[in-house]
Amino acid sequence: MKSWLLSLLLLVPLCSQAASTPKEIKARFSQFKVGDKTICLDDVTYANNSKMKVIENGFVVSKQKNVLIYQSNTLFLLGNEVTVNIKAVIESKMGKTSFSNQFRQAMIQVEGMDDPARAGEKAKIIQSFEDVISDKHNETPYSSVALTEKGYIITQVDSHSTTISECYVTPYKKAETAR
pLDDT attached to residue 160: 86
Integer Cα distance of 176 and 179 in angstroms: 9
Q: What is the DSSP string of 100-147?
A: EEEEEEEEEEEES--SGGGHHHHHHHHHHHHHHHH-TT-EEEGGGEEE
H/E element, 83: strand 83-94
Domain for residue 47, yes or no? yes
Q: How many domains does the chain have?
A: 1
Question: Do 106 and 137 meet the contact criterion of CB atoms below 8 Å apart?
Answer: no
Domain for residue 175, yes or no? no
pLDDT attached to residue 177: 64
Domain for residue 42, yes or no? yes
Range of the domain at 131: 3-170
- What's the pTM? 0.80
Domain for residue 69, yes or no? yes
Integer Cα distance of 150 and 171 in angstroms: 10
pLDDT attached to residue 17: 56
How far is CA 75 from its chain centroid? 11
C-beta atoms surrounding 143 within 10 Å = 14
Domain for residue 108, yes or no? yes
Mean pLDDT by 10 residues, the chain (179 residues): 36 52 91 95 92 95 94 90 93 92 94 90 90 86 93 91 94 71
